[in-house]
Amino acid sequence: MDTIFSDRISNVPRSFIREILKVTSDRSIISFAGGLPNRDLFPAAEIEKATEKVFRDFGRDVFQYSNSEGLSGLREAISRRYHEKGLEIKPEDILITNGSQQGLDLLGKIFINEGDDIIIEEPGYLGAIQAFSIFRPHFHQITLNEDGIDIAKLKSVMASCKPRLMYSVPNFQNPSGISYSEANRYDVAAVLKGTSTLLVEDDPYGDLRFSGDACSSFKTLLPENTILLGSFSKTVVPGFRLGWIVAPPPVMDRLIIAKQASDLHTGSFTQAIVYQYLQDNDINEHIASIRAAYGRQLQAMLDSIGRYFPEGVFHTHPRGGMFVWVTLPPELSSRELLDLAIKDKVIFVPGDQFFVDKEVNNTMRLNFSCTNEETTRTGIERLGKAINRLMKEKSLASLPSN
Amino acid sequence: MDTIFSDRISNVPRSFIREILKVTSDRSIISFAGGLPNRDLFPAAEIEKATEKVFRDFGRDVFQYSNSEGLSGLREAISRRYHEKGLEIKPEDILITNGSQQGLDLLGKIFINEGDDIIIEEPGYLGAIQAFSIFRPHFHQITLNEDGIDIAKLKSVMASCKPRLMYSVPNFQNPSGISYSEANRYDVAAVLKGTSTLLVEDDPYGDLRFSGDACSSFKTLLPENTILLGSFSKTVVPGFRLGWIVAPPPVMDRLIIAKQASDLHTGSFTQAIVYQYLQDNDINEHIASIRAAYGRQLQAMLDSIGRYFPEGVFHTHPRGGMFVWVTLPPELSSRELLDLAIKDKVIFVPGDQFFVDKEVNNTMRLNFSCTNEETTRTGIERLGKAINRLMKEKSLASLPSN
């Protein structure tokens, strides 16, 4: 039956994450594997109030087919939030999508011909690898260093071809937690300036900064070439599937055609609820409470890693977001570690699937948004023991056998 | 700037319908141009009650990320409704999509390679033409006769190539209102049986039958080759964007990958609301009330067409759905007619955009779901006058000029 399928679908990697998450129905397992925001922080009561108002005030048209661009009030609210951050984005340059994941699909549809060169980070966001793979591009993965993308490698790729787009998550990247420094952003902008390469700035985590100052958006540094993706999944709720794309008119024109072809429009009822929620609540106050909680949880994770992980294990030092990236000694496999860790009732995501065509087996992604401080400490202690056990096994195995 | 876009996006036709609908903000215009269900029949109070229950009973997880397949309770409810109609469909063979439009996108993603042959009806559903165009197939459009698809032409296409899929709307098709007769369905099944061509049965209107008996689904006649698409847009509300695909396991496996790549999953909150709505209400009773209203409106339209349209104008005789298809004498252009009709405060959709590569200028689609009987009569009277005027102009113009 395999022959009936399109060539492209066989290019799309499966998400191992979803396989791992099936294990988590066992409540005694501590999971650092998810990529979920913390459900305890959802503004459930406020959403219920907003929903009641929508029923009362919006009338039946909130259940009717709607326009492909999205609810104008919601687009205005997004525009105002950008303004607060110093970015001037017109509401008509915003398209509401089913989460920012759909933004990736729409960008793939309007920009990527088969075989086109595109740049993504290494390690890269799996959802972007999946979304773009549908359109069969040639991926150039460029190393992330602790201060951002590797500029020498970026220059070398830009000298070797004309990438259609560069996909980047400059704030608290998934999976690494790395942010581009201000200097790194200027360097990226200088390399891309005057080229035909579009910079796609995906920013689901930018609001979740626990310390330090926000850096410049590429929309400021490279205004002509930048497309922004945003999301309510980490700041309001993910289950509504509400995100957006910011793009200039000629791109927006094609995005709307692609949106119509994909699903006509994003659900109008949930758009109305989030619009009403934003009218009646101070989202910055809400985000501050998320930041405070996640910040404490990150600190607990970093402290525990310092205490329980053996020497030779390295990790990133995020100042926001939801993830820490861990690199084991090269002789250790994180998939083998996972087998041990599951027995010790702790799980994480092995890092190999965030690499497009390299075999990198000694990395892992740890999520800290869903575990409180105490659970985090317990989980990291268990994981530290598992790493120690695996190291011991490996050094035993590497002893001369006679 | 045009060169930066993918080749595929230039293949997607724009929807002229959306342009026309912008005119309808003028309340004095009678519109037969929409393709909307009637907002006055939305079960708004019942949805509000269901929503209250979801807030009370579902807990915070209804706002969290969810699985790509969709809410299991909703898939079971869809399975039960198929069972009532004599079709045995397992819940695990159902994937929840953002309206059935997204089903088309996902099918395109997993089945269509560039240049693949696919069959659609002529005239064909514009949303399907748009969705599939993204994947650059070679369309074979096959004439719809009053009793279904033209079997001789279907045989000739099947003899000339191996179509990847045949897209059909066998019940009250959009735009024509035509249904395949039972005999026609058997003939189609006989032609496709044993071939590798998949039959995609899109059935948004099947429940909206005003008279006569339901015919067999292709899922019964051609079980191995049939994929079903369904939707809550015409029976509950369209603004939630909830539809589904029914497909066997190997296809489902790929559909889920494509769904993840497209937008991770369909909104969990609105799925829960429709699930609760179906638990607490008799949807068949609700559908009966829609059928009664639309049936009266269709009758008013057909009666008025009989009274006000001149000889030489032909139309289909639907027994359900939302549309009547009108064919003007070949020398009349429905776009020219629209210009006249707008002045008389009545609009419709010219039929040319439902043809892929033929120029057919003398057809039009009339929607009857959104106008009550009196408004329908007034609108058809106005349209009849406009047709008469255009005929007069044309016959004057065709008089010998000297």
Using CA atoms, how far apart are residues B310 and B308, in angstroms rounded to an integer? Answer: 6
**Cβ <8 Å between A241 and B7:** no
Shared domain for A290 and A272, answered yes or no, is: no
Q: Give the A window 112-171 contacts with B, CB below 8 Å.
A: 112-114, 127, 130-131, 133-135, 164
Q: Where are the alpha helices (DSSP H) in A246-372?
A: 249-263, 268-280, 283-308, 334-343
Say whether the peptide bond before residue A123 is cis (omega within 30 degrees of 0). yes
Using CA atoms, how far apart are residues A273 and A256, in angstroms rounded to an integer? Answer: 23
Whose tokens are 């087998």? That residue is A339
Report how far apart, in Å, the C-alpha atoms of B377 and of each of A224, B372, B382 are. Answer: 53, 9, 9
Shared domain for B222 and B251, answered yes or no, is: yes
Supply the pLDDT for residue A358: 84
Q: State residue B257 phi and psi, 5-degree precision.
A: -60, -45
Supply the pLDDT for residue A314: 97
End-to-end CA distance of chain A: 51
How do residues A86-101 score in pLDDT, each as one tens digit? Answer: 999 999 999 999 999 9
Domain with B99 in it: what CATH number? Answer: 3.40.640.10
Interchain CB contact of B55 with A (< 8 Å): yes
The answer to whether residue A323 scores a pLDDT higher than 60 is yes
The answer to whether residue A401 scores a pLDDT higher than 50 is no
Using CA atoms, how far apart are residues B35 and B290, in angstroms rounded to an integer? Answer: 15
B248 CB-contact burial (10 Å; exposed 0-12 / middle 13-18 / buried 19+)? middle
**Residue at B47 is within a domain:** no
Residue B179 pLDDT grade (very low, low, confident, very high; cuts 50, 70, 90): very high
**Cβ <8 Å between A263 and B102:** yes
Using CA atoms, how far apart are residues A59 and A370, in angstroms rounded to an integer? Answer: 37
Residue A133 pLDDT grade (very low, low, confident, very high; cuts 50, 70, 90): very high
Say whether the peptide bond before residue A318 is cis (omega within 30 degrees of 0). no
Using CA atoms, how far apart are residues A301 and A381, in angstroms rounded to an integer? Answer: 10
The answer to whether residue B402 scores a pLDDT higher than 60 is no
Q: Give the A window 343-382 contacts with B, CB below 8 Å.
A: none
Average pLDDT, integer, range A213-233? 97
The answer to whether residue A108 scores a pLDDT higher than 70 is yes
Residue B24 pLDDT grade (very low, low, confident, very high; cuts 50, 70, 90): low
Using CA atoms, how far apart are residues B325 and B349, in angstroms rounded to an integer? Answer: 10
Chain B partners within 8 Å of A2 (Cβ): 250
Shared domain for B237 and B365, answered yes or no, is: no
Supply the pLDDT for residue A169: 98
**Residue at A301 is within a domain:** yes
How do residues B282-332 score in pLDDT, each as one tens digit? Answer: 999 999 999 999 999 999 999 999 999 999 999 999 999 999 999 999 999
Chain A partners within 8 Å of B192 (Cβ): none
**Residue at B56 is within a domain:** no
DSSP string, B276-302: HHHHHS-HHHHHHHHHHHHHHHHHHHH
Shared domain for B176 and B311, answered yes or no, is: no
DSSP code, position B114: T
**Residue at B150 is within a domain:** yes
How do residues A334-364 score in pLDDT, each as one tens digit? Answer: 999 999 999 999 999 999 999 998 899 999 9
Helix (H) or strand (E) holding A356: none
Shared domain for B143 and B180, answered yes or no, is: yes
Residue pairs between chains A and B whose CB atoms are closer than 8 Å: 209
Report angle CA B104, B108, B112 to the nearest 5 degrees. 150
Residue B1 pLDDT grade (very low, low, confident, very high; cuts 50, 70, 90): very low
Shared domain for B103 and B202, answered yes or no, is: yes
Using CA atoms, how far apart are residues A231 and A400, in angstroms rounded to an integer? Answer: 54
**Residue at B57 is within a domain:** no
- For residue B177, what are the contacts with CB-CB under 8 A and spacing of at least 6? B316, B317, B318, B321, B322, B323, B324, B325
Using CA atoms, how far apart are residues A242 and A269, in angstroms rounded to an integer? Answer: 11
Nearest residue to B71 via CA among B60, B59, B83, B62: B62
Count CB-CB contacts under 10 A for residue B212: 9
Strand partners, B75: none
Residue A189 pLDDT grade (very low, low, confident, very high; cuts 50, 70, 90): very high
**To the nearest whole angstrom, how far is the Cα of A55 from the nearest Cα of chain B?**
7
Supply the pLDDT for residue B27: 81
Contact B324, B315 (CB under 8 A): yes
DSSP code, position A39: G
Using CA atoms, how far apart are residues B26 and B122, in angstroms rounded to an integer? Answer: 32
Using CA atoms, how far apart are residues A74 and A93, in angstroms rounded to an integer? Answer: 12
**Cβ <8 Å between B61 and A39:** yes
Helix (H) or strand (E) holding B393: helix B373-397
DSSP string, B128-139: HHHHHHTT--EE
Shared domain for A321 and A385, answered yes or no, is: yes
The answer to whether residue B349 scores a pLDDT higher than 50 is yes
Supply the pLDDT for residue B23: 66
Supply the pLDDT for residue A1: 43
Supply the pLDDT for residue B259: 97
Shared domain for A128 and A264, answered yes or no, is: yes
Using CA atoms, how far apart are residues B228 and B219, in angstroms rounded to an integer? Answer: 7
**Residue at B368 is within a domain:** yes
State which of B234, B250, B280 marks the end of a domain.
B280
Nearest residue to A223 via CA among A383, A100, A82: A82
End-to-end CA distance of chain B: 51
Would you put residue B173 in left (φ > 0), alpha (ψ -120 to 50) or beta? beta
Say whether the peptide bond before residue A223 is cis (omega within 30 degrees of 0). no
State which of A229, A252, A280 marks the end of a domain.
A280
Residue A166 sits in which domain range? 61-280
Shared domain for B273 and B325, answered yes or no, is: no
Helix (H) or strand (E) holding B320: none
**Cβ <8 Å between B9 and A102:** no
Report angle CA B324, B87, B201 to the nearest 5 degrees. 40
Q: Tally the residues of chain A.
A: 402
Q: What percent of chain B has pLDDT over 70?
A: 96
Q: Give the A window 56-85 contacts with B, CB below 8 Å.
A: 60-68
pTM value is 0.95
Helix (H) or strand (E) holding A367: strand A363-367
Shared domain for A137 and A174, answered yes or no, is: yes
Range name among A10-14, A370-374, B95-99 with the lowest pLDDT average: A10-14
Shared domain for A104 and A33, answered yes or no, is: no
State which of B225, B257, B280 marks the end of a domain.
B280
**Cβ <8 Å between A258 and B9:** yes
Cα dihedral value A296, A302, A305, A307, nearest 10: -80
The answer to whether residue B100 scores a pLDDT higher than 50 is yes
Q: Give the B window 252-311 contacts with A, CB below 8 Å.
A: 254, 257-258, 260-270
Residue B397 pLDDT grade (very low, low, confident, very high; cuts 50, 70, 90): low
Residue B25 pLDDT grade (very low, low, confident, very high; cuts 50, 70, 90): low
Q: How many structural domains is chain A composed of?
A: 2
Residue A104 pLDDT grade (very low, low, confident, very high; cuts 50, 70, 90): very high
Using CA atoms, how far apart are residues B96 and B259, in angstroms rounded to an integer? Answer: 9
Half-sphere exposure of A255 (CA within 13 A, CB side): 26
Range name among A340-349, B22-31, B150-159 with the lowest pLDDT average: B22-31
Domain with B372 in it: what CATH number? Answer: 3.90.1150.10
**To the nearest whole angstrom, how far is the Cα of B152 from the nearest Cα of chain A?**
25
Shared domain for A143 and A227, answered yes or no, is: yes
- Chosen for mutation from B110, B256, B264, B286 (greatest number of chain A CBs closer than 10 Å) is B264
Supply the pLDDT for residue B26: 76
Nearest residue to A364 via CA among A317, A325, A318, A309: A325
Range name among A127-131, B17-21, B79-83 with the lowest pLDDT average: B17-21
**Residue at B222 is within a domain:** yes
Chain B partners within 8 Å of A105 (Cβ): 261-263
Average pLDDT, integer, range B96-101? 97
Supply the pLDDT for residue B266: 97
**Residue at B51 is within a domain:** no
Contact B263, B68 (CB under 8 A): no
Contact A253, B2 (CB under 8 A): no
Range name among A40-44, B140-144, B398-402 with the lowest pLDDT average: B398-402
The answer to whether residue B109 scores a pLDDT higher than 60 is yes
Q: What percent of chain B has pLDDT over 90?
A: 90
Q: Give the A window 13-42 contacts with B, CB below 8 Å.
A: 14-15, 18, 35-37, 39-40, 42
Supply the pLDDT for residue A22: 67
Half-sphere exposure of B188 (CA within 13 A, CB side): 36
Count CB-CB contacts under 10 A for residue A23: 13
Supply the pLDDT for residue A395: 80
Using CA atoms, how far apart are residues A113 and A116, in angstroms rounded to an integer? Answer: 6
Strand A117-122 with A165-168, pairing:
parallel
Using CA atoms, how far apart are residues A255 and A68, in angstroms rounded to an integer? Answer: 10
Supply the pLDDT for residue A15: 75
Strand partners, B397: none
